[in-house]
């Protein structure tokens, strides 16, 4: 059996992406994506937030085409991180590392 780390996510950017250029000229885009689900007979809503990271050419696409509120379709993989904070406590977080992205800006039409 060939198991893979694969994520598909559709959501909206919660803020403009932060763009970084590393010393070796590698471009990185970091941003948050919100997904909303409705469930139950009364349509209760729940929102989940995900930290997303894009590298190199994908980061360039994010920089040019994505901004706060943009709907995105993301294909990627999960990456677990751990670190020690300033107080010496072990911390854990999870990010989605983007392999492909589609940025769809919404068009508001006057009714």
Q: What is the pLDDT of residue 42?
A: 79
63: enclosing H helix or E strand:
helix 56-65
Look at residue 110 and tell me whether its pLDDT is greater than 60.
Answer: no
Average pLDDT, the chain: 91
* ∠ CA 93-15-83, rounded to 5°: 20
Give the number of C-alpha atoms closer than 13 A to the C-alpha of residue 43, restricted to the C-beta side: 0
Instruction: Give the total residue count for the chain.
Output: 111
pLDDT 10s digits, 27-59: 999 999 999 988 877 778 899 999 999 999 999
pLDDT 10s digits, 97-108: 999 999 987 555
Domains of the chain (ranges, CATH numbers): 7-104 (2.40.50.140)
pTM of the model: 0.83
Tell me the average pLDDT across 77-105.
94
């Amino acid at each position: 059996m060939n198991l893979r780390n694969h994520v598909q996510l559709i959501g909206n950017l919660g803020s403009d992406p932060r763009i970084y250029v590393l010393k070796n000229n590698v471009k990185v885009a970091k941003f948050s994506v919100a997904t909303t689900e409705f469930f139950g007979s009364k349509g209760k809503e729940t929102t989940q937030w995900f930290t997303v990271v894009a590298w190199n050419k994908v980061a360039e696409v994010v920089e040019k085409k994505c901004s706060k509120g943009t709907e995105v379709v993301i294909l990627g993989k999960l990456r677990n991180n751990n670190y020690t904070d300033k107080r010496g406590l072990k911390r854990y977080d999870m990010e989605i590392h983007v392999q492909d992205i589609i940025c769809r800006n919404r068009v508001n039409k006057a009714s």
